[in-house]
């Protein structure tokens, strides 16, 4: 599940002891190429974090997590999964979104730090998938929203709902066959006999990649690593633009058959976005807010959003 | 700690399985003469429960407790301790008020039902007592509220604060000696040299006892049992009125050197109070809302409040 958390894991620690545990989790997740940011509770803008990350881990007493959650929670289908860990790292507890990923992340984190997972949801009450979740997982736009309610209520009623041309597996949904009455498909799949069918069309969004790097990197090694990550994420063929402040990254655009956008430091300085990963101390010294995420968002244009928070590759290159 | 929860334990269960666990806890607490009421989540008026009980136990997935808590939580010093238990009774988790009783109750309940207590608060961060808590524990009114802030901030600063003539032990507060600058005392203790001292006076409130019973009970046995409970609660000498619909309970008033109030069923029928324990099915059949609590509140007069929720003695008598 953690590898699906593209917008990243936010770790928020209240005490010094908790922050040390946070640093340990940060390192473990970075090693797995999972986007992750560690915050001190006092300095964190929880409202931004709530809207910008795919999962939040609070390291503090459960009561602290609960009182914080109460300030920002809206509704089951709107809130990110939230996990609580005590300062000593004894327990990992899904606090919100047990059936929306928190249970799985809890199991993964507790294995990583050797803690006890405290799962309190009834396993038979698994929540059903919904159209919005599938659109999110496939980074798509729903083309005919008038059918959302029909498809979601078919899922809730336990009717057969099928996926066509969608490269993910979703528990409770089936692969397409002619008999399916309810179908979720992509706009590229036009060959469905839609007589008597309720079809929901997802338009895969175009993706832009932003790359930051040190001045001296071996572009062949870097491009190989980046391609490998894009393949793991199953988006290699969906990249339309590669953007960077470094001319040599054009090579990666060529390999991906994408356009290249050279970004200037001026553009970076003038760019604002609520979900940007806070800059490292080193970047702050250089007077830069960040490179990879801003490059990607600049290349994506004004309607773009951050779908994959930056990760670092070998401490030489960042990718968003 | 449970024995200090005079206004009672509210158990709120969401599922059928959770309700069965709730019935088990209900029985175990009743055996300990602890006031307790079990509710079905769908039927429960959580807002009333929030204000009327000394501790709330939610039997449901933690997320359910958290979303419910978010609707009613106000602030640390205003909210009751809240405990979460999963439907299977594997874990008992303090969710709110860890340092205000929830941790202790968690340990007691988990021992009772053989579950694992999940304590997440840092033990060194124990919250300090405060004047309001002491007034509550001693069922007293603060006579000179202008000194509350001074005493509370002395406690917070770790200065020496002493109790005089108060028959409870509170961690962090000392027994009175001449050197104490900050003193919490009762209005009956006038012999303090108050030169240079900051004194907070508590006026113990007068107490009324309400008794309900079956028609045929052995009054000698019943009175003995009731006196024993009042002694355990350390309020035997503070009872001013005993009230009941049964004339024979006058005997208990005599033993306690208290007045007796004979309550009529008409008075009971016309009485309303938000914190009354819901009537049992048997009482509903009889068209009665309850006896013990209403009798006590009627005897206490219009300014009275429920300080000890009714308990049942041998299924023959109720006491509030």
Residue A312 C-beta-side C-alpha neighbours within 13 Å: 15
In order, the DSSP letters of chain B are -GGG-TT-EEEEE-SHHHHHHHHHHHHHHHHTT--EEEEEGGG--HHHHHHH-SEEEEES-HHHHHHHHHHH---TTTSPPEEEE-TTS-EEEEEE-GGGTHHHHHHHHHHHHT-EE---S-GGGPPPP-HHHHHHHTTEEES-GGGHHHHHHHHHTT--EEEES--S--TT-EE--TT-SEEEEETT------TT-EEEEEEEPPEEEEEEE-SS--HHHHHHHHHHHHHHTT-GGGEEEEEES-GGGHHHHHHHT-EEEEPPHHHHHT---TTPPPPPHHHHHHT---SHHHHHHHHH-TT----S--EEETTTEEE-
ipTM computed for the complex: 0.82
How close A95 comes to chain B (CA, Å)?
5
Q: Is A121 in the B-facing interface, judged by CB distances under 8 Å?
A: yes
Q: Is B285 in the A-facing interface, judged by CB distances under 8 Å?
A: no
Q: Is A129 helix (H, G, I), strand (E, B) or coil?
A: coil
Confidence label for B126 from pLDDT (cuts 50, 70 and 90): low
The answer for A 37-56 residues in CB contact with B (under 8 A) is none
Q: What percent of chain A is modeled with pLDDT above 70?
A: 96
**pLDDT, position B88:** 93
**pLDDT, position B284:** 86
Give tens-digit pLDDT for A245-272: 999 999 999 999 999 999 999 999 999 9
Confidence label for B125 from pLDDT (cuts 50, 70 and 90): low
Number of CB atoms found within 10 A of residue A304's CB? 17
Confidence label for B193 from pLDDT (cuts 50, 70 and 90): low
Which residues in A lie closer than 8 A to residue B76 (C-beta atoms)?
A: 67
Return all residues near A160 (Cβ < 8 A) that are at least 6 apart.
Answer: A174, A179, A180, A181, A182
Give tens-digit pLDDT for B24-62: 999 999 999 999 999 999 999 999 999 999 999 999 999
Among A65, A66, A93, A103, most B C-beta atoms within 10 A, so best to mutate, is A66
Return all residues near B294 (Cβ < 8 A) that are at least 6 apart.
Answer: B210, B263, B267, B268, B271, B273, B276
- Residue B251 tokens read as 């005997």
**pLDDT, position A168:** 78
Judged by CB atoms closer than 8 Å, whether chains meet at A93 and B96 is answered as: no
Which residues in B lie closer than 8 A to residue A63 (C-beta atoms)?
A: 94-98, 120-121
pLDDT higher than threshold 60 for residue A180:
yes
Lowest mean pLDDT: which of A28-37, A127-136, A263-272? A127-136
Residue A196 backbone class (left: φ over 0; alpha: ψ -120 to 50; beta: rest):
left
Which residues in B lie closer than 8 A to residue A97 (C-beta atoms)?
A: 63
Rounded CA-CA distance A200/B289 in Å is 55
Would you say A129 and A142 are in contact if contact means Cβ atoms under 8 Å apart? no
Judged by CB atoms closer than 8 Å, whether chains meet at B67 and A86 is answered as: no
pLDDT mean across residues, chain A: 90
Rounded CA-CA distance A186/A204 in Å is 7
A70, A86, A119 member nearest B73 (Cβ): A70
**pLDDT, position B65:** 95
**pLDDT, position B68:** 95
Q: Is B63 in the A-facing interface, judged by CB distances under 8 Å?
A: yes
Judged by CB atoms closer than 8 Å, whether chains meet at A94 and B121 is answered as: no
Q: In chain A, which ranges are continuous DSSP H helix? A: 16-31, 46-52, 62-72, 102-113, 131-137, 148-156, 219-232, 250-256, 265-269, 281-286, 292-300
> Which is nearest to B80 in space by CA: B48, B114, B109?
B48
């Amino acid at each position: 599940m953690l590898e699906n958390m593209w917008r990243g894991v936010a770790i928020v620690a209240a005490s010094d002891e908790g922050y040390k545990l946070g640093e340990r989790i940060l390192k473990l997740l970075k090693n797995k190429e999972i986007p992750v940011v560690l915050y001190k509770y006092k300095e964190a803008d929880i409202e931004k974090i709530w809207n910008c990350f795919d999962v939040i881990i609070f390291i503090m007493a459960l009561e602290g997590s609960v009182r914080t959650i109460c300030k920002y929670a809206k509704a089951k289908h709107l809130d990110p999964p939230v996990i609580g860990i005590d300062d000593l790292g004894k327990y990992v507890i899904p606090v919100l979104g047990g059936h929306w990923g928190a249970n799985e992340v809890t199991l993964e984190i507790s294995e990583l730090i050797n803690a006890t997972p405290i799962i309190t949801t009834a396993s038979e009450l698994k929540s059903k998938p919904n159209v919005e979740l599938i659109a999110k997982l496939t980074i798509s736009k729903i083309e005919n929203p008038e059918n959302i309610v029909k498809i979601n209520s078919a899922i809730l009623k336990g009717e057969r709902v099928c996926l066509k041309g969608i490269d993910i597996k979703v528990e409770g949904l089936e692969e397409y066959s002619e008999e399916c009455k309810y179908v979720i498909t992509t706009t590229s799949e036009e060959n469905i006999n839609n007589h008597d069918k309720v079809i929901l069309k997802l338009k895969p969004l175009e993706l832009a990649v932003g790359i930051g790097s040190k001045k001296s990197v071996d572009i062949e090694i870097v491009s190989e690593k980046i391609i490998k990550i894009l393949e793991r994420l199953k988006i290699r063929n969906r990249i339309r633009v590669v953007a960077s402040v470094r001319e040599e990254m054009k090579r990666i655009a060529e390999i991906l058959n994408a356009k290249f956008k050279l970004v200037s430091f001026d553009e970076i300085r003038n760019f604002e976005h609520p979900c940007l990963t806070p800059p490292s101390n080193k970047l702050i010294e250089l007077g830069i807010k960040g490179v990879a995420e801003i490059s990607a968002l600049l290349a994506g244009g004004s309607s773009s959003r951050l779908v994959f928070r930056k990760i670092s590759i070998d401490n030489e290159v960042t990718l968003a």
